[in-house]
Amino acid sequence: MKHIHLLFVALVAFGFIGRVALAHYRPELLQRKWIKLSPHIMAGLLLLTGIILVIQGNWLDNAFGWIVAKLILMGAFIGLGLMTMREQGQKRWIAFGGALFCLFYIVKVAFAKQIFFFL
């Protein structure tokens, strides 16, 4: 299950970057139904596999602050992703950078099982 979850992490990340590139260079392609629907399906499957991993690993029995941190960061990623897709110019790129930072931080927390990157 871990490898499937990691696959969805990669698909969500590359899909997001691809949609940002489309928004910048070919925004008319974003109107295609499969391009609108696929991020929601991938994010839903990512969340589902994450929940399954938490249940399988009995991670809620121990200190689980890192799981809560990942969920909060995922919410921030979604919010910044929406801003990235809706804004223009400098605001788009600032939101994009923030969203990528959230993704990086989520991966860091997942590997270290620590909330703060400097610990």
pLDDT band with cut points at 50, 70 and 90 for residue 119: low
Cβ–Cβ under 8 Å, residues 46 and 9: yes
| Residue 118 in domain | no
SS3 letters across 48-91: HHHHHHHHHCCHHHCCCHHHHHHHHHHHHHHHHHHHHHHCCHHH
Q: What is the pTM of this model?
A: 0.84
* Domain total in the chain: 1
Distances (CA, A) of 116 to 64, 100, 109: 13, 17, 8
**Residue 29 belongs to some domain of the structure:** yes
Residue with more model confidence, 101 or 67: 101
Does 117 map to a domain? no
What's the pLDDT tens digit per position in 55-98? 887 777 777 788 888 889 999 999 999 999 999 899 999 999 99
Query: Of 41, 42, 34, 47, which is closest to residue 14 (Cα–Cα)?
Result: 42
Domain residues for the domain of 81 are: 2-112
